[in-house]
């Protein structure tokens, strides 16, 4: 409807000789229902340009509008120049039929059809299993990918496999130390860089396969064994959450293929990299930073910036229409340097969007839950899934905006009550399924919409208007990368449905009214199910 009104208003402005090219035409839902269904302040926005009173502009605009009465029943001017629109009854009832006819595709659009996007997320170092804190990025990224696909994008899901650098050496040293200890050698504390129980599993796996034959094996052997075990564990966890990637880009390929050397050489040629104190520095002050940054340490090991520059250069050169990075807050300082360096090669980064999510904390019955790969006290993502279930994990991690701190309440996620937000949503879906089963047991048809014009109760109309919003909400969430919009919307749908159920008996002696209300129930179930599909949670038939 917003697109329809926008096109009609733009046509009317042209006939009035008003230039709205510099004005952002926006529509909002009035806070007071009596003021209509949609409102725009375009007349007030144009007042300065047109040098007219806003109400005069509003009246001229309304007089010039050509609107389909089957869609808009009334247009009113309010206050200093707001233009309010009311949906026609026909449009409202057509919406229910449209949801039922569109089914699983209701909410989808093709506004970005033919466009490609690369989304890189998770990308956790393969030095141990995913800890519970990784879950926020896992679930945010998976939901954003789904939202993009629902708006027509062709999505490539990518995992940057961070299998180079000193952290991998430390993993290898730790695995070797644990392995040797199995055959009687005393462990050296300074060689234990990762203390989780999983290191013992890796070491025992080597011992089971090779016995003591690898006591003097090269460090590369233990690095490979640790990497393979850790990444297999990471992939198993992602599969539990139904999260999949199309591309696993290995960091070490940047070294094998010479891309790190090429980038460093190019930066030197541009006088953006120089030697100082046995290290190589990136002249980030040229990009507006307060000081230059080391990109190769005195030990010869690159810092994160150098491979990140090579990796992003590679992604840009692959030709996606959009590139999206999802990072934790600890990446904030490196992002500007990396993108500036990529631009120095004559490449545009305008199509790169970086989503930064804040950290997450966990509480259980009021007590903080801590996690660390480098200590024995690891609260893994697998543990969290086991404790609260896949659906709670998928929902709780996305129900707040990525830029907000998130406290994950484990006890709340386990509750089987309406206090648990994911339970509240799924219960609404299950209740509808129960209503439909009851109707069928009473001999009512549940596949015939009947006369939808019988849906005249305020609670029925309110529910229909809420259901109509799904396509708009999906587009909004996809455009802003804010999964919270969808969660809030689905909660609103469930709330408005429960009110309808309280106010309007669905299965009555009036067969025609029952058919219409059952159709509304089915439309609500479809909207909830479609939203659940995007989020990645189940749509239960009973609870």
Give kind and range of the element (H or E) at residue 369.
Answer: strand 367-369
> Is there a single domain that holds both residue 342 and residue 447?
no
Contacts of 300 (CB under 8 A, 6+ apart): none
Dihedral angle sign, alpha carbons of residues 508, 514, 517, 519: positive
> Is there a single domain that holds both residue 132 and residue 74?
no
Dihedral angle sign, alpha carbons of residues 266, 270, 273, 276: positive
> Is there a single domain that holds both residue 256 and residue 120?
yes
The reported pLDDT for the residue numbered 374 is 47
Would strands 116-120 and 322-328 be described as parallel, antiparallel, or unpaired?
Answer: parallel
Please state, in angstroms and rounded to a whole number, the distance separating the CA atoms of residues 513 and 99. 19
**Has residue 367 been placed in a domain?**
no
Enter the DSSP assignment of 331. G
Q: What is the pLDDT of residues 10-25, one digit of tens each?
A: 888 888 887 767 677 8
Q: What is the pLDDT of residues 460-484, one digit of tens each?
A: 999 999 999 999 999 999 999 999 9
213, 240, 267: which is the final residue of a domain?
240
Displacement of CA 200 from its chain's centroid (Å) = 35
> Is there a single domain that holds both residue 33 and residue 45?
yes
> Is there a single domain that holds both residue 153 and residue 191?
no
> Is there a single domain that holds both residue 21 and residue 62?
yes
**Has residue 379 been placed in a domain?**
no
> Is there a single domain that holds both residue 482 and residue 450?
yes
Displacement of CA 142 from its chain's centroid (Å) = 6
Please state, in angstroms and rounded to a whole number, the distance separating the CA atoms of residues 294 and 275. 9
What is the per-residue burial (b if ≥16 Cβ within 10 Å, else e) of 139-173?
Answer: bbbbbbbbbbbbbbbebbbbbbbbbbbebbbbbbb
Phi, psi of 458 (to 5 degrees): -55, -40
Cα–Cα distances in Å, from 97 out to 125, 379, 427, 448? 49, 48, 24, 10
Enter the DSSP assignment of 134. G
324, 357, 390: which is the final residue of a domain?
357
* CATH code of the domain in which 40 resides: 3.30.1360.70
**Has residue 370 been placed in a domain?**
no
> Is there a single domain that holds both residue 529 and residue 424?
yes
**Has residue 377 been placed in a domain?**
no
Domain span at residue 36 reads 2-87
Please state, in angstroms and rounded to a whole number, the distance separating the CA atoms of residues 506 and 463. 14
What is the per-residue burial (b if ≥16 Cβ within 10 Å, else e) of 354-376?
Answer: bbebeebebebeeeebebebeee
Enter the DSSP assignment of 314. H
Contact 172, 361 (CB under 8 A): no
**Has residue 409 been placed in a domain?**
no
The reported pLDDT for the residue numbered 319 is 97
Please state, in angstroms and rounded to a whole number, the distance separating the CA atoms of residues 451 and 447. 13
Please state, in angstroms and rounded to a whole number, the distance separating the CA atoms of residues 79 and 39. 12
The reported pLDDT for the residue numbered 184 is 92
The reported pLDDT for the residue numbered 371 is 59
240, 262, 288: which is the final residue of a domain?
240
Burial class (CB in 10 A: 0-12, 13-18, 19+), 282: buried
The reported pLDDT for the residue numbered 22 is 67
> Is there a single domain that holds both residue 101 and residue 140?
no
Stated length of the chain: 543
> Is there a single domain that holds both residue 520 and residue 462?
yes
**Has residue 371 been placed in a domain?**
no
Contacts of 153 (CB under 8 A, 6+ apart): 112, 115, 116, 117, 322, 478
* CATH code of the domain in which 476 resides: 1.10.730.10
Number of domains in the chain: 4
- Entry pTM: 0.92
Q: Residues in the chain with pLDDT < 70?
A: 20, 22, 371-377
Q: Helix, strand, or coil here: 67?
A: coil
Q: What is the DSSP string of 433-474?
A: HHHHHHHHHTT--SS----GGG--SHHHHHHHHHHTTHHHHH
Cα–Cα distances in Å, from 190 out to 126, 178, 193, 376, 519? 21, 12, 7, 16, 68
Enter the DSSP assignment of 153. -
> Is there a single domain that holds both residue 122 and residue 253?
yes
* CATH code of the domain in which 123 resides: 3.40.50.620
**Has residue 515 been placed in a domain?**
yes
> Is there a single domain that holds both residue 348 and residue 251?
yes
**Has residue 428 been placed in a domain?**
yes
Residue 490: which of 107, 98, 109 has the closest Cα? 107
Contact 99, 467 (CB under 8 A): yes
SS3 string, 484-516, reads HHHHHHHHHHHHHHHHHHHHCCCCCCCHHHHHH
Phi-psi region of 507 (alpha: psi -120 to 50; beta: other; left: phi over 0): beta
Which residues are paired to 39 by β-bridges?
A: 28, 84
């Amino acid at each position: 409807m917003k697109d329809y009104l926008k096109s009609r208003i733009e046509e009317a402005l042209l006939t009035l000789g008003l230039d709205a090219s510099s004005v952002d035409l926006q529509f909002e839902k009035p806070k007071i229902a009596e003021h209509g269904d949609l409102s725009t302040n375009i007349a007030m926005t144009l007042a300065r340009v047109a040098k007219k009173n806003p109400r005069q502009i509003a009246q001229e605009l309304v007089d010039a509008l050509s609107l389909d009465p089957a869609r808009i029943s009334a247009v009113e001017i309010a206050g200093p120049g707001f233009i309010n629109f009311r949906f026609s009854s026909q449009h409202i009832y057509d919406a229910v039929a449209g949801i039922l006819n569109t089914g699983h595709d209701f909410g989808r659009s093709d506004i970005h059809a033919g466009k490609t996007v690369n989304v890189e997320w998770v990308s956790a170092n393969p030095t141990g299993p995913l800890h519970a804190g990784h879950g926020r990025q896992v679930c945010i990224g998976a939901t954003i990918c789904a939202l993009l696909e629902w708006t027509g994008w062709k999505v490539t899901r990518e995992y940057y496999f961070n299998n180079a650098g000193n952290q991998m050496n430390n993993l290898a040293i730790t695995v070797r130390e644990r392995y040797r200890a199995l055959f009687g050698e005393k462990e050296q504390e300074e060689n234990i860089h990762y203390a989780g129980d999983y290191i013992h599993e890796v070491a025992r796996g080597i011992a089971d396969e090779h016995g003591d034959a690898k006591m003097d094996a090269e460090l590369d052997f233990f690095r490979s064994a640790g990497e393979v075990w850790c990444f297999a564990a990471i992939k198993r966890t992602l599969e539990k959450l139904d999260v999949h990637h199309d591309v696993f880009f290995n960091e070490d390929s940047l070294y094998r293929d010479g891309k790190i050397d090429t980038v460093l050489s190019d930066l030197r040629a541009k006088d953006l990299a120089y030697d100082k104190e046995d290290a190589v520095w990136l002249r980030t002050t040229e990009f507006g930073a307060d000081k230059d940054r080391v990109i190769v340490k005195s030990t010869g090991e690159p810092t994160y910036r150098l491979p990140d520059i090579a990796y992003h250069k590679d992604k840009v050169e692959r030709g996606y229409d959009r590139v999206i990075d999802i990072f934790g807050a600890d990446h904030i300082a490196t992002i500007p340097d990396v993108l500036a360096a990529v631009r120095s090669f004559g490449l545009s980064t305008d199509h790169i969007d970086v989503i930064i999510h804040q950290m997450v904390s966990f509480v259980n019955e009021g007590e903080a839950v801590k996690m660390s790969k480098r200590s024995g006290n690891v609260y893994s993502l697998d543990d969290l899934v086991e404790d609260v279930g896949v659906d709670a994990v998928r929902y709780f991690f996305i129900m707040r905006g990525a830029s907000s701190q998130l406290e994950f309440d484990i006890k709340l996620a386990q509750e089987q009550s309406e206090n648990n937000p994911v339970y509240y949503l799924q219960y609404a879906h299950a209740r509808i399924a129960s209503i439909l089963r009851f109707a069928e047991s009473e001999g009512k048809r549940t596949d015939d919409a009947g006369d939808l014009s019988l849906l005249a109760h305020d609670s029925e109309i309110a529910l229909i208007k809420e259901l109509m919003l799904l396509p708009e909400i999906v587009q909004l969430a996809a455009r802003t990368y804010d999964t919270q919009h969808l969660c809030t919307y689905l909660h609103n749908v469930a709330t408005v449905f429960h009110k309808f159920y309280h106010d309007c008996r669905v299965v009555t002696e009036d067969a025609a009214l029952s058919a219409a209300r059952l159709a509304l129930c089915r439309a609500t179930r479809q909207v909830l199910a479609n939203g659940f599909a995007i989020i990645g949670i189940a749509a239960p038939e009973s609870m």
